[in-house]
Copies of this chain bind each other. A is one copy, B any other.
Amino acid sequence: MKQNAVELLRSSNLRQTGPRIAILMAMMKANAPVTQEQIAEQLGPLAPNKTTIYRTLMNLVKKNLVHKAYIEGRTWHFELAHHCGQHQCHPHFTCSQCLQTRCIPGVSAPLIKLPEGFTMHRQQIRIEGLCSVCRNKNRR
Q: Which residues of A are interface residues toward B (Cβ below 8 A)?
A: 71, 74, 91, 93, 96, 104, 107, 109-110, 112-132, 135-136
Contact = CB atoms under 8 A, between A and B. Distances in A.
A109 to B, nearest CB: 4
Given A110-B109, A112-B107, A112-B125, A135 B120 contact: no
Integer count of this chain's copies in the complex = 2
Contact of A123 (B117, B127, B135, B136): B127
A19 to B, nearest CB: 24
A130 B118 contact: yes
A119 B115 contact: no
A36 to B, nearest CB: 14
